[in-house]
A = this chain, B = another copy of it.
Amino acid sequence: MGSLSRGPRAQSCWEQKFGAPRQGALAPDARGLLRLELRDGLDAEHATDGLEGYSHIWLIWLCSLNGHQATNSKVRVPRLRGGRAGIFATRTPFRPNPIGLSLVRLDRIDGATLHLSGIDLVNGTPVIDIKPYVPWYDAPRPLAGEQPPLGGVRVPSWVPGAESLRLEVSFTSAAEEALSLHSNHNSTRLLEGEALKSTLRQSLEADPRPLYRWRRQQSGKESVAEYELQVDGMLASCRFERNCDGSENVVVTSVARLTS
């Protein structure tokens, strides 16, 4: 056993790991496409018949950017700023079997192409299964005496919730200008109109910095925290700033078209 067909590669506005949100829910405006190509004997349009009736689907995918399986039983948790938890207590892509699970919104189906939003997959990620989201099966049901909607659901205190702190994001006027030019001249990309700006904001609000660089900055080893983020064919430069009260914010300083 153990052999899987690789499945179609997702097209996504996330061009690289940095900036892609930890889960799709963190960037609801992010967009992607999945063009199904199935093995001989299977027909993609038949295989998705009825799927258009669902608003949300699960993607099960391969953590293909890792290059290797887990070599440690624990990983550092971004939200714990270095605290560690067991690999099975987190969604880390470094797992014994490097498989990812993402809930995404299914906007529409066009032939054999699924149009998705709220996606966290990096462009080119192989998707190995698609399942419909069925609330009755996929959301915990309260036991007798528990209150819905989340009666009886428990997560550890270090897991970020809806109320989780988000960084404040602002744009320089140069960046604003470049974004509005892009939205006017962009008919072939995944993010149309204002969606590039809001997707960029959603990515930065959730603080995509890798832990080791965040630590270098906190400890003063790295004075300027400039990052570059690729989204949907654009390169955004941004700067993480530390406020007097210890809180942080992000400024998008420039946005330019990626030349490939």
Chain A residues within 8 Å of B, Cβ to Cβ:
1-7, 23-25, 28, 38-39, 41-44, 46-51, 53-56, 58, 60, 62, 64, 69-74, 84-91, 95-97, 99, 101, 103, 105, 126, 128-141, 143, 148-150, 152-162, 164
Q: Which of B2, B4, B5, B89 contacts A54 (CB 8 A)?
A: B89
Stoichiometry, copies per complex:
2
Residues from chain B with a CB closer than 8 A to the CB of A132 are 88-91, 155, 159
CB of A55, distance to nearest CB on chain B (Å)? 4
Name the residue of chain B whose CB is nearest to the CB of A7: B97
CB distance from A260 to the nearest CB of B (A): 25
Among B2, B84, B86, B90, point to the contact of A3 (Cβ < 8 A): B2
Cα separation A91 to B101 with both chains bound (whole Å): 15
Assembled-state Cα–Cα distance A134/B73 (Å): 20
Offer 24 A-B interface pairs, CB within 8 angstroms, sorted by A: A3-B3, A4-B4, A5-B97, A28-B141, A42-B70, A42-B87, A47-B74, A48-B86, A49-B89, A51-B89, A53-B89, A53-B156, A53-B157, A55-B154, A58-B101, A60-B60, A60-B99, A88-B130, A90-B132, A103-B140, A134-B155, A135-B139, A136-B161, A136-B164
How near does chain B come to A5, taking the closest CB pair, in angstroms? Answer: 6
Q: Cβ of A135 and Cβ of B155 under 8 Å apart?
A: yes
* Nearest chain B CB to A129 CB, angstrom units: 5
**Which among B38, B139, B143, B152 is the interface contact of A139 at CB below 8 angstroms?**
B139
Whether A47 and B62, one on each chain, are in contact in the complex, defined by CB atoms closer than 8 angstroms, is no
Q: Does the CB pair A140–B99 fall under 8 Å?
A: no
| B99 & A141 in contact (Cβ 8 Å cutoff) | no
Interface hub of A7, A69, A89 (most chain B Cβ within 10 A): A89
Which residues of B have CB within 8 Å of A95?
129
Determine whether the beta carbon of A71 is less than 8 Å from that of B101: no
In the complex, A138 Cα to B46 Cα: how many Å?
Answer: 27
Contact of A73 among B1, B42, B160 (CB under 8 A): B42
A137 touches B97 (CB 8 A): no
Q: Could you say which of B44, B56, B160 contacts A153, with CB atoms under 8 Å apart?
A: B56
